[in-house]
Amino acid sequence: MSIVIAIAALGGLTLLLAIMLIFANKKLFVYEDPRIDKVEDMLPHANCGACGYPGCRPFAEALVLKKSLPGKCTVSSDEGRQSIAEFLGVALGAEEKQVARLACAGGTNVAINRAQYIGVQSCQAANLVSGGGKGCFWGCLGHGDCESVCDFDAITMNEHGLPIVDVEKCTACGDCVEVCPKDLFSLQPISHKLWIACKNLEQGEAILEDCQVGCTACGKCAMDAPGELITMKNNLPVINYSESHNTQKPIQRCPTGAIVWLEDSGLMIKGKESRKIIRKGSRLMGNS
């Protein structure tokens, strides 16, 4: 008997509530623009946030409301962006491609470790222990947090433990910028070819003991650069990209090759007078 009562009581209750919800759903129905779903389907579903919105759906909503332009999505292919622009009848709003660039060139063949870090193989963990074992406090620790955080396989660690960014694959989502405990990555328009591959704030030849490609703050690049293009700040050259910067002149006299020229392909060109690095293995303490 009690089973019948139980089923009847609970069934009645749920039926009552279901009817109430059916009516509420009819009364409180929210109309959504069907284009939002269509545009969302056209987006790459990477939810990377490079467009400045939390994910692909909020971006699709913004596109439909004409608050943003399809060009803001750096992950889509050119055809993908074009088809969204045509579907919505808006301008493409092409943005210049940005890539993540690393402000360090100190691989294991040029930079020494003063202490050996043994533990979880992650830069963030290593950084908690006195900033990692690297001789240069500002340099890349080389445990590859950026490689593992990259959703697009655009970062690979080379044989010297330095991350190499694949310019083609990089979507400028900014995940590596966020994860690097040394703040070495930044997003740069691809036309910024002049690049300082060092963050060492010290001055003078002494830093070569830690890293052979570090910036010694000699200031030659600042002198050679036209106008106010390069200024020295905190023992590092700072490039003012708002000036015309399409010149290889500043890199030529750099003694260490800390200031470089990056081709579109990702090829790194160093100045003529920069010291040639021929070592293939790891550089140990005391070697110069």
Binding residues for [4Fe-4S] cluster: 48, 51, 56, 73, 136, 140, 146, 150, 170, 173, 176, 180
Binding to other proteins (CB under 8 A) within 153-182 occurs at none
- Based on the shown chain and the rule CB under 8 A, indicate whether residue 130 belongs to the binding site for other proteins: no
What backbone phi and psi angles, to 5 degrees, belong to 38?
Answer: -65, -45
Between residues 35 and 275, which has the closer beta carbon with respect to other proteins?
35
Number of residues that bind other proteins (CB under 8 A): 16
14 interacts with other proteins by CB under 8 A: yes
Stretch that binds other proteins, among 8-16, 99-107, 157-165, 266-274 (CB under 8 A): 8-16
Minimum gap (Å) between residue 126 Cβ and other proteins: 15
Tell me how far, at minimum, the Cβ of 39 lies from other proteins, in Å: 18
Decide: is 10 part of the binding site for other proteins (CB under 8 A): yes
Q: How many CB atoms lie within 10 A of CB 161?
A: 17
- The minimum distance between CB 55 and other proteins, in angstroms, equals 12
17 binds other proteins (CB under 8 A): yes
Q: 126, 156, 161: which is closest to 266 by C-alpha?
A: 156
Reduced DSSP (H G I as helix, E B as strand, rest coil) percent helix, strand, coil of the chain, to 5:
30, 15, 55
Q: Does residue number 91 form part of the binding site for other proteins (CB under 8 A)?
A: no
Examine residue 285 and tell whether it contacts other proteins (CB under 8 A): no
Footprint of other proteins on 18-37 (CB under 8 A):
18, 20-21, 24-25, 28-30
Q: Candidates 2-10, 41-49, 166-174, 242-250 — which segment interacts with other proteins by CB under 8 A?
A: 2-10
Which CB sits closer to other proteins, 54 or 204? 54
Using CB under 8 A, which of the segments 12-20, 75-83, 136-144, 253-261 binds other proteins?
12-20
Q: Which helix (DSSP H) or strand (DSSP E) does residue 100 occupy? A: strand 98-102
Rounded Cα distance between 177 and 193, Å, is: 19
Q: Contacting other proteins (CB under 8 A), which of 9, 91, 238, 285? A: 9
Count other Cβ atoms within 10 Å, centred on residue 1.
5
Q: Give the residue with the Cβ less far from other proteins, 29 or 79.
A: 29
Which residues here bind other proteins, judged by CB under 8 A? Answer: 2, 5-6, 9-10, 13-14, 17-18, 20-21, 24-25, 28-30
